[in-house]
């Protein structure tokens, strides 16, 4: 059970501490207890709960657009598209186990789940992970989460989408290796490939006010 005197549960209480990333020392059981009750999104890494108190309107619009685009490339019933309410479990992130809640991810069906207990489980084999970068999460996404994501053997593509400018960086695994190709796309007319299908900047950033 989450200790509500030790960990905030509501978004309002978390935002009163900080509107960006908030870190709390915690064990693995404490993380799942918080995840079960908390109103906010939270990761677990190196014996810390890393909570994200706020998602901007712009961030939300980009995530929604990406889910629509991914659904056109990875159709049901062969695949499932998940939003940030769906955790991904990593049994070994170099410094112990980790749980991340990417902005969206694609998994094959049927699912391969890590079950902490009945009603609390996480995905283990994403094919695609997408993170939408914001000012408060930029360093965390690149310096802490990126090396861990690359350890997921099933992962083919890791896509980072900037919410503050028209910029996408794609990490593509070289098949059957632990090596990755990283390509940046920063031109308004740019497009990148996931498998044999392309996604353009104009598709991602449509209906999003330009900065």
What local confidence, expressed as pLDDT, does residue 2 receive?
53
Cα of 110 vs its chain's centroid, Å: 20
Q: Which superfamily does 57-84+102-204 belong to?
A: tt1808, chain A (3.90.1570.10)
Calpha distance 75→34 (Å, rounded): 33
Q: Domain ranges for the chain, please list them.
A: 11-52, 57-84+102-204
Calpha distance 15→53 (Å, rounded): 6
What local confidence, expressed as pLDDT, does residue 208 receive?
72
What local confidence, expressed as pLDDT, does residue 211 receive?
53
Calpha distance 109→80 (Å, rounded): 7
Please state the φ and ψ torsions of residue 186, each to the nearest 5 degrees: -125, 5
- Digit-by-digit pLDDT tens for the chain (211 residues) are 455 558 999 999 998 888 789 999 999 999 999 999 999 999 999 999 999 877 888 999 999 999 999 999 999 999 999 999 999 999 998 779 999 999 999 999 999 999 999 999 999 999 999 999 998 899 999 999 999 999 999 999 999 999 989 999 999 999 999 999 999 999 989 999 998 999 999 999 987 765 5
Contact 155, 124 (CB under 8 A): no
Per DSSP, the residues of 36-93 read HH-SSEEEEETTEEEEE----HHHHHHHHHHHHHHHHHS-TTTEEEEETTS-EEES-S
What local confidence, expressed as pLDDT, does residue 6 receive?
84
Contact 194, 204 (CB under 8 A): no
Calpha distance 148→172 (Å, rounded): 15
Calpha distance 4→7 (Å, rounded): 5
Does residue 6 sit in helix, strand or coil? coil
Does residue 25 sit in helix, strand or coil? strand
What local confidence, expressed as pLDDT, does residue 209 receive?
66
Calpha distance 52→127 (Å, rounded): 24
Calpha distance 45→149 (Å, rounded): 12
Calpha distance 130→63 (Å, rounded): 9
């Amino acid at each position: 059970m989450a200790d509500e005197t030790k960990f905030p549960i509501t978004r309002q209480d978390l935002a009163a501490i900080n509107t960006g990333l908030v870190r709390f020392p915690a064990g693995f059981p404490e993380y799942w207890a918080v995840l079960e009750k908390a109103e906010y999104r939270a990761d677990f890494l190196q014996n810390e709960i890393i909570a994200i108190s706020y998602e901007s309107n712009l961030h939300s619009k980009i995530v929604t657009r990406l889910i629509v685009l991914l659904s056109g490339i990875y159709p049901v019933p062969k695949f499932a598209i998940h939003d940030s309410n769906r955790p991904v479990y990593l049994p070994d992130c170099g410094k112990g186990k980790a749980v991340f809640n990417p902005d969206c991810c694609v998994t094959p069906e049927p699912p391969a789940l890590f079950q902490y207990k009945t009603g609390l489980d996480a995905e283990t084999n994403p094919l695609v992970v997408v993170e939408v970068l914001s000012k408060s999460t930029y360093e965390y996404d690149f310096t802490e989460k990126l090396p861990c994501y690359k350890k997921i053997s099933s992962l083919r593509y890791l896509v980072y989408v900037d919410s503050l400018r028209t910029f996408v960086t794609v990490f593509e695994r070289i098949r059957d290796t632990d090596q990755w190709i990283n390509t940046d796309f920063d031109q308004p007319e740019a497009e990148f490939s996931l498998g044999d299908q392309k996604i353009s900047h104009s598709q991602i950033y449509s209906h999003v006010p330009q900065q």
